[in-house]
């Protein structure tokens, strides 16, 4: 157990209490703006954890001046007050605040947009590995009233429902009359994610009659009290509502389960980010990012209902819908809760994959699985030539193998299954990117 702790500490460097961060003479030590999904509870909890790790005393979270704004305060051993402000008005507001220099760190429940990247270029490359930090995985749950008998919907139906084309529960084979729509507000990263994953891909705007909410909790409670209601929400905010299984393209129906969200197989899974500007870096911002990626920080992520990025091995039940060779792997091995994914149009690992690589190596070292105990399984999107799809899927697995070999891992096998077993529709870039994945199996 001690060896495992040492591996985790080596993987996730933490600032030592003996070297405390500077306490400013006036004003907040750090200003965080952006996602309500992060800022409502997770952000303040991570800040509180960092402050306590720094040795501050009497750390507490309290309301700030505006709605959806909080302040975390603590005292140094000399009695000096240190405060950090967290404003949660939606992901886009975080990037606006970076541009205006009214925030030091942006919290976002979606990737930075190309237009924002260009706009913030004077601050440095916010897509660089140090700047773009995936801090957790979340899943958008589609929620209904608990008494609604429907158990599954596909993404095409979701688009038609939230566009208003499907307006009654009877049209879906249910009962209840008119459908009542509940949605997050325009500033929300949750809404941006739903819009990108469901509406925009099918060229459909959100119906004008949808009730909009800045608060995730209020939206969820409204749906759970309305027998005709349907809404979308971040996973921790399902509360008393009922989540349904989602189908995308030819994928199997998937509930927003932790294991399916951790691997990002669930169709409405998403990444949560901190964006740390490379220029003029605030030491508290860098410390918060490092703390968040540590084992302590990821434990706080899990405690707040999101999916931590610590690697675990899970058993997968072989099913008839799986390829026979894949079933054979599932019978003998366990799958790690991580998928390696790639930059769009590239064979290069994306920023999360670079972080996950070290997590996987640490897991393999701590479980004595460095020598021929790992099989990599690659998948891809549909190509005109199935043999080309199979080759590309294996080449992606080989790209991961190269990185693992550099870290002392000797592979047992590498397989490429091409466009088989998709987890998302291949009709748009977002789905194709999810299907271009490499799974890690351990024996």
pLDDT of residue 346: 65
Matching CATH topology for 139-261 and 311-442? no
Angular region, 327: left φ>0, alpha ψ -120 to 50, beta rest: alpha
Burial 141-171 (b: 16+ CB within 10 A, else e): bbbbbeebebeebbbbbbbbbbbbebbebee
- pLDDT of 250 reads 83
Domain boundaries, the chain: 2-131+276-303, 139-261, 311-442
Residue 281 burial (CB count, 10 A): 17
CB 47 within 8 A of CB 288: yes
Alpha-carbon span 315 to 300, nearest angstrom: 25
Question: Domain spanning 2-131+276-303: which CATH class is it, in words?
Answer: alpha beta
User: Which residues of the chain fall below pLDDT 50?
Assistant: 1-18
Per-residue pLDDT at 291: 97
Give pLDDT, residue 127.
Answer: 96
pLDDT the model gives residue 200:
84
Task: Tell the residue number behind the tokens 């060779």, with chain if given.
Answer: 325
What was the pLDDT predicted at 7?
Answer: 40
Q: How far is CA 147 from the centre of its chain?
A: 29
Q: How far apart are CA 369 and CA 365, in angstroms?
A: 6
Q: Is 339 in contact with 437 (CB distance < 8 Å)?
A: yes
Q: Please report the DSSP string for 224-261 in residue order.
A: HT-TTEEEEEEGGG-TTSEE-EEE-TTPPPB---HHHH
The pLDDT score that the predictor gives to residue 18 is 42
**Residue 38 exposure: Cα atoms within 13 Å on the Cβ side:** 32
Q: What pTM did the predictor assign?
A: 0.81
CATH 3.30.1330.60 for domain 311-442, yes or no, is yes
Class of the CATH-defined domain 139-261: alpha beta
């Amino acid at each position: 157990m001690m060896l495992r702790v040492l591996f985790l500490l080596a993987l996730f460097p933490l600032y030592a209490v003996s070297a405390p961060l500077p306490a400013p003479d006036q004003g907040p030590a750090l200003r965080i703006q952006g996602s309500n999904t992060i800022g409502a509870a997770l952000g303040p909890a991570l800040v509180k954890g960092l402050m306590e790790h720094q040795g501050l005393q009497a750390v507490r979270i309290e309301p700030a001046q505006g709605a959806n704004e909080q302040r975390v305060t603590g005292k140094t051993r000399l009695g000096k007050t240190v405060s950090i402000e967290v404003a949660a008005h939606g992901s886009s507001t975080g990037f606006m605040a970076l541009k205006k220099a009214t925030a030091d760190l942006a919290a976002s429940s979606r990737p930075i947009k190309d237009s924002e990247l260009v706009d913030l270029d004077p601050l440095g490359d916010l897509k660089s590995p140090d700047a773009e930090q995936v801090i957790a995985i979340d899943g958008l749950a589609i929620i209904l009233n608990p008494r609604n008998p429907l158990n599954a919907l596909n993404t095409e139906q979701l688009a038609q429902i939230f566009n208003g084309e499907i307006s009654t529960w009877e049209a879906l084979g249910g009962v209840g009359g008119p459908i009542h729509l509940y949605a997050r507000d325009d500033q929300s990263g949750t809404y941006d994610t739903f819009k990108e994953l469901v509406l925009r891909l099918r060229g459909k705007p959100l119906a004008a009659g949808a009730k909009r909410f800045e608060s995730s909790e209020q939206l969820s409670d409204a749906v759970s009290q309305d027998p005709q209601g349907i809404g979308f929400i971040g996973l921790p905010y399902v509360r008393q509502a009922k989540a349904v299984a989602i189908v995308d393209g030819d994928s199997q129906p998937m509930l927003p389960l932790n294991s399916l969200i951790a691997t990002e197989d669930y169709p409405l899974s998403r990444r949560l980010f901190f964006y740390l500007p490379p220029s003029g870096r605030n030491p508290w911002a860098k410390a918060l990012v490092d703390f968040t990626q540590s084992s302590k920080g990821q434990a706080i992520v899990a405690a707040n209902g999101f999916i931590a990025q610590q690697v675990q091995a899970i058993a997968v039940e072989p099913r008839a819908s799986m390829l026979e060779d894949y079933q054979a792997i599932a019978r003998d091995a366990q799958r790690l809760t991580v998928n390696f994914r790639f930059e769009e149009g590239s064979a290069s690992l994306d920023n999360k994959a670079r972080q996950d690589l070290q997590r996987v190596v640490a897991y393999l070292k701590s479980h004595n699985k460095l020598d021929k105990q790992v099989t990599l399984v690659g998948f891809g999107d549909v190509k005109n030539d199935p043999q080309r799809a199979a080759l590309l899927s294996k080449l992606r697995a080989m790209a991961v193998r190269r990185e693992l070999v550099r870290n002392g891992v000797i592979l047992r096998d590498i397989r490429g299954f091409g466009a088989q077993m998709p987890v998302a529709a291949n009709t748009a870039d977002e789905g194709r990117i999810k299907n271009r994945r490499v799974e890690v199996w351990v024996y």
